[in-house]
Amino acid sequence: TYSISGKVTLWQSQDSVTQVTLTLKDSSETVIDTKSPSPDGKYKFHPLLPGTYSVTASLENHTVITPKDGGGINVVISPNASNINFTLAAYSISGTVKVMDYSGPSGAVVYCQTPTGTLQYSVDNSGKFRFYPLPAGQYRLWVEKNNYDTTSPAGGEYVFDLASWTTKNFTLKKR
Establish how many alpha carbons lie within 13 A of residue 107's alpha carbon, considering only the half-sphere containing its beta carbon. Answer: 8
**Confidence (pLDDT) at 10:** 87
Calculate what percentage of the chain has a pLDDT beyond 70.
91
How do residues 66-88 score in pLDDT, each as one tens digit?
776 565 667 666 666 777 787 87
**Confidence (pLDDT) at 126:** 92
Distances (CA, A) of 139 to 16, 83, 111, 131: 25, 37, 10, 11
4 or 66: which leads in pLDDT: 4
Task: Please state the pTM of the whole predicted model.
Answer: 0.67
62 or 95: which leads in pLDDT: 95
**Confidence (pLDDT) at 122:** 95
The DSSP line for 43-55 is EEEEEE-SEEEEE
Cβ contact 132:92 at 8 Å: yes
Average pLDDT for the chain: 88
Please compute the mean of the pLDDT values over residues 118-139 and round it to a whole number.
93
**Confidence (pLDDT) at 115:** 87
